[in-house]
Amino acid sequence: MRPGPVLMMVLALMAGCARNPGGAGRAPVTPAEAAAIAERAEASFTTDNVDAIMSQYAEGAMMIDASNPTPSTDRKVQTGWARAFASMKPSDYHVPDRHIQIVGPDAFISSGTEMFTIEAGAARPTISARFTDVFQRQRNGSWKIVHEHVSMPPTPTGKP
Domain assignment of residue 86, yes or no: yes
Domain assignment of residue 113, yes or no: yes
Domain of residue 120, residue span: 29-151
CB count within 10 Å of CB 80 equals 15
For the entire predicted model, the pTM comes to: 0.81
3-state secondary structure of 111: strand
Number of domains forming the structure of the chain:
1
In terms of Cβ atoms closer than 10 Å to its own Cβ (0-12, 13-18, 19+), residue 128 is exposed
Domain assignment of residue 59, yes or no: yes
Residue 55, domain CATH? 3.10.450.50
How far does CA 45 lie from the centroid of its chain?
Answer: 12
**Helical ranges in 2-159 per DSSP H:** 5-19, 31-43, 50-54, 75-87
Domain assignment of residue 33, yes or no: yes
Quick: pLDDT tens for 75-132.
999 999 999 999 999 999 999 999 999 999 999 999 999 999 998 667 788 999 999 9
